[in-house]
Amino acid sequence: MAEIGELLAIMARLRDPERGCPWDVKQDFASIAPYTIEEAYEVADAIDRGDLDDLRDELGDLLLQVVFHARMAEEGGHFAFGDVVAAIRDKMLRRHPHVFSARERAVAGDAGEDADVASAEAQTVAWEEHKRRERAARGDADASVLAGISRGLPEWQRSVKLQKRAATVGFDWPGPAPVIAKLHEEIEEVRVEFDAVAANPADAAARDRLEDELGDVLFVVANLTRHAKVDFGAALRRANAKFERRFRRMEQLAAAEGRALADLPLDAQDALWSRAKSEGL
């Protein structure tokens, strides 16, 4: 597509040390990485809101991040945008032997047999096996089922991935009921550690135990969302959006009474929350 070439040329101009944009020129992989993550979340937000016009724009912003990283790599003599495209093309061909024939996959260096996949779940298993073989081919000696799970992921997302991988060898709860029971158990342990910290706020060991137990609660919640087949991030975004709607409504209700929310006691604030909730927000 001509547009891709134009975008690559724009990025090259922006990164030109003499005639480019000073901000773009001074960036490196580390400084751009947070923007890359932010743009990915903005794509997810546009999808959540069902705003396809915004989704188009946010996908463009995310594509720009790929172009930016590729340009910096090209400047360093490592790889270029075309290499990024070729790498993902080859990966998609290799990991879908049930879609692409051996002849089609030959361009990706895959001489394996064609395959059949009966379901999306079976494809997930096959995908992970392809990834394992690719890691082994690169000389990765880590043979653990948990190998290759990125440490750069948000921790909630890494929790879910760890649990999914463990489940592939049968290490999993048989259903949601024991997970809920485990959640109650972990919450009780959190309560015990809160009491310990309250009794001795200067006790660093007690605070470490509290952090540990809170982590266990979050890990179990992640497990519960997996059993419910609910996306942890989507569920939390929905909760955040709900809180924001209700809180903003509380501010409006307080303002309608000529008062600032911050000036109201907690019981009055709770009453406004209940009113906002009763409105279906």
Q: Tens digits of per-residue pLDDT, 18-32?
A: 999 999 999 999 999
Tens digit of pLDDT for each residue in 79-96?
999 999 999 999 888 888
**Of 17-31, 34-48, 137-151, which one has max mean pLDDT?**
17-31
The answer, yes or no, to whether residue 127 has pLDDT greater than 90, is no
Which fold, 155-230? Helix Hairpins (1.10.287)
The answer, yes or no, to whether residue 119 has pLDDT greater than 80, is no
Residue pointed to by tokens 């047999």: 113
The answer, yes or no, to whether residue 264 has pLDDT greater than 70, is yes
Do 155-230 and 2-79 fall under one CATH topology? Answer: yes
Which fold, 2-79? Helix Hairpins (1.10.287)
Lowest mean pLDDT among 54-63, 145-154, 232-241: 145-154
**Of 4-8, 97-101, 124-128, which one has max mean pLDDT?**
4-8
State both tokens at 236: 């939390």
Tens digit of pLDDT for each residue in 42-76?
998 899 889 999 999 999 999 999 999 999 999 99
Q: Whose CA is closest to 44, among 29, 59, 32, 30?
A: 59
- Parse the chain into domains and list their residue ranges: 2-79, 90-137, 155-230, 234-278
Mean pLDDT of 120-142: 71
Give the chain's largest Cα–Cα span.
74
pTM of the complete model: 0.68
The proportion of the chain whose per-residue pLDDT surpasses 70, expressed as a percent, equals 93
Exposed e or buried b per residue across 239-257, where buried means at least 16 C-beta atoms within 10 angstroms of its C-beta: eeeeeeebbebbeebbeee
Mean pLDDT of 97-114: 75
pLDDT at 98: 81
pLDDT at 96: 84
pLDDT at 117: 63
Name the pLDDT band for 189 (thresholds 50, 70, 90): very high
pLDDT at 149: 86
Mean pLDDT of the chain: 90
Please, are residues 135 and 94 in contact by the beta-carbon 8 Å criterion? no
pLDDT at 151: 85
- Phi and psi for 120 in degrees, rounded to 5? -65, -35
Lowest mean pLDDT among 20-24, 33-37, 121-125: 121-125
pLDDT at 256: 95
